[in-house]
Amino acid sequence: MLKDEVREELVNNIIPFWKGLRDNEYGGYYGLLTYDLELDKKAVKGCILNSRILWFFSNAYMLLKDESLLDEAKHAFEFMERYCIDKTNGGVYWSLNYDGSVYDSTKHTYNQAFAIYALSSYYDAAKDNEAIGLAKSLQRVIEEKCTDEIGYLEAFKVDFSPESNEKLSENGVMAEKTMNTLLHVLEAYTEYYRVTGDGYTLDRLKRMLDTVADRIYNPKLKRQEVFFDKYFNSIIDLHSYGHDIETSWLVDRACEVMGDELYKEKMSVITTALAERIYERAYVNHSLLNECEKGIDNKWRIWWVQAETVVGFYNAYEKDPTKKKFLEAAEDVWGFIKEYVIDKRKGSEWFYAVDENGKPDSNRPIVEEWKCPYHNGRMCMEIIKRTV
């Protein structure tokens, strides 16, 4: 039942919606659809949004074998290759104007990672050697320009000179390193390693998993810390429920792709604890809370957090099928998504956020640089592939 319902959501709602945002005049996909469903064809186009759309259509094609999906992926790839990548300094810009000219030339490690993630999947879907070559060049950018002796740095100016990290700092702090960026470099390198078997990437994956275990994960609180100084000292008391449940399955995926039993055993202790803690602490009223700062819960139900919760809980059930609570919770959260998060208005997709009573946040658009088909589309594809 769950598999059939998410397949229907993917095929009949999410895919048609994002096909409808294709910009055939200037390339890529439109960058803004307001809460009132007003399409702004001249809005800024986030490069993260374009990367995630490229990833989405590439993977949807590989799952469903619909040639129209590969055409959409090719459209996104051509926009990325032509406009998102800086041909002079290397790396991916933060965002572009509607016509492909540069809007924000910031280079962020997070953005480089998502491009690698997308290009690796597109290479697998289209067998396009140019795509994997670009992914490799972006990996070199990350490793040569976006690291220090103990981890990945965050934000840079166009020429990769240092820049403060406004992009991925929140909650009143300015972070020099973040759990979020590390997680998505791990995710990107996992996909790159899956399609290339590259030994250098395998080494980097192991280093990142060690960092998660030794510096990011807090064994006392059974959570990840979120924002850090450059030495990986946590700088705020913050529990990001969505990132913890997402990490619980992305780290398991990394270990599976690596095929390393020692890392699988080591990290499974952590990912199991993360899923258990999230179930106990944040699974409330058929859905997942957003985060907890200094002991105070943010009760908004964010679209991506709900999507990652379905996958994370299902993954925890797969690891130990005696824990039926996780299967029941995954199905329960999907029920909440169907009832409250999916926007039933014609021409829409999912709300960005709803409050604890299921009322949508009308200040949040349906599409913007962070609001994309990556989380909810991936949830559908993961459940389809994981269920029989």
Total Cβ atoms within 10 A of residue 101? 9
Q: What is the separation, in whole angstroms, between the first and last Cα of the chain?
A: 10
Provide the residue type at 162 as one letter: P
**379 close to 6: Cβ distance less than 8 angstroms:** yes
pLDDT of residue 1: 84
pLDDT of residue 86: 98
* Nearest partner of 101 among 45, 157, 159, judged by Cα: 45
Q: Is residue 172 part of a domain?
A: yes
Higher confidence at residue 215 or residue 1?
Answer: 215
DSSP 90-131: -SB-SEE-TTS-EEE--EEHHHHHHHHHHHHHHHHHH--HHH
Among all chains, which residue has been given the structure tokens 């104007």? 97
151, pLDDT greater than 80: yes
Domain of residue 16, CATH code: 1.50.10.10
Classified as helix, coil or strand, 369 is: coil
* Per-residue model confidence as pLDDT tens digits over 206-219: 999 999 999 999 99
201, pLDDT greater than 70: yes
Total Cβ atoms within 10 A of residue 288? 29
Burial class, 51, CB count within 10 angstroms (exposed 0-12 / middle 13-18 / buried 19+): buried
- Quote the domain boundaries for residue 144: 2-377
Q: Is residue 195 part of a domain?
A: yes
Classified as helix, coil or strand, 283 is: strand
Express as a percent the part of the chain with pLDDT over 70: 100
* Per-residue model confidence as pLDDT tens digits over 116-127: 999 999 999 999
171, pLDDT greater than 90: no
Q: Is residue 295 part of a domain?
A: yes
Q: Is residue 384 part of a domain?
A: no
Q: Is residue 136 part of a domain?
A: yes
165, pLDDT greater than 90: no
pLDDT of residue 388: 64
Looking only at the bridges linking them, the beta strands covering 95-96 and 45-46 are: antiparallel
Q: Is residue 386 part of a domain?
A: no
Q: Is residue 359 part of a domain?
A: yes
CA angle 341, 287, 175 (to 5 degrees): 90
Token pair recorded at residue 38: 């007003």
DSSP state of 66: -
203-211: Cβ within 8 A, 24+ apart: 204/143, 205/254, 205/258, 206/258, 206/260, 206/263, 208/182, 209/251, 209/254, 209/255, 209/263, 209/266, 209/267, 211/151, 211/182
How far, in whole angstroms, is CA 306 from its chain's centroid?
A: 13
Q: Is residue 387 part of a domain?
A: no
Average pLDDT, the chain: 97
Total Cβ atoms within 10 A of residue 88? 7
385, pLDDT greater than 90: yes
User: Phi, psi (5° rounding) for residue 234?
Assistant: -65, 140
**75 close to 63: Cβ distance less than 8 angstroms:** no
pLDDT of residue 170: 72
Distance CA 45, CA 371 (A): 12
Of the candidate ranges 73-87, 107-121, 165-179, the one whose mean pLDDT is the lowest: 165-179
* Per-residue model confidence as pLDDT tens digits over 305-354: 999 999 999 999 999 999 999 999 999 999 999 999 999 999 999 999 99
E strand or H helix at 332:
helix 324-336
31, pLDDT greater than 90: yes
Number of domain units in the chain: 1
Provide the residue type at 15 as one letter: I
Express as a percent the part of the chain with pLDDT over 90: 96
Looking only at the bridges linking them, the beta strands covering 238-240 and 283-284 are: unpaired
